[in-house]
Amino acid sequence: MNPLSWQTALESEMRAAQKAWIEQNDGRARACVRRAVGIILSEYNRAHNKEIITGKTALDRLRHVASDSRFPEEIRKAATRLTTNVNQRLTPHFTFHPLNDANILIVFFQNEMARPEF
C-alpha cells in the first residue's frame, strides 16, 4: 500500500469511528478503531520488510501487540483494552474510550516509523 493510501484508509476508519461514537454506536466505533490500528500495524510490518507483528486480522495483530513484551506497557494495555470483548465491559481491561486507545497506538507506531534508526 502506498503511503497516501494507508494513511487515507486509516483516517477514513477513524472518521467512521468518530461518527459511530457520536451516534452512540459503540460496537461500530470499536470495529472501526480496530481496523484503523490494524492498518498502522500492517504498515509497521511493511516498513520493516518483515512480519514483526503477526496475525491475519486487525484483531489478531492487536492481540500480538497486547502480549509482546517488546512494546511499552502503556501500548500493551491500550491494545488489550481494544481486544477485550464488550461482554466484559465491567472488567478493568475494557475500554470506554476506544478512540483514545486507538490514538495511543497509532501515534506510538507512527513515531516508531519516523525514528531515524527505523
Amino acid at 74: E
Count CB neighbours of 60 within 10 A. Answer: 14
Domain count along the chain: 1
Residue 47: pLDDT band by 50, 70, 90 thresholds? confident
User: Which residue segment(s) compose the domain that 7 sits in?
Assistant: 3-114
**CATH classification at residue 102:** 1.20.120
Give the cell for residue 72: 511499552
> At residue 3, does pLDDT exceed 70?
no
> At residue 118, does pLDDT exceed 90?
no
Percent of the chain with pLDDT over 70: 86
**Contacts by residues 54-63 (CB-CB < 8 Å, ≥ 24 positions apart):** 58/34, 59/34, 59/83, 61/37, 62/34, 62/37, 62/38
pTM of the model: 0.88
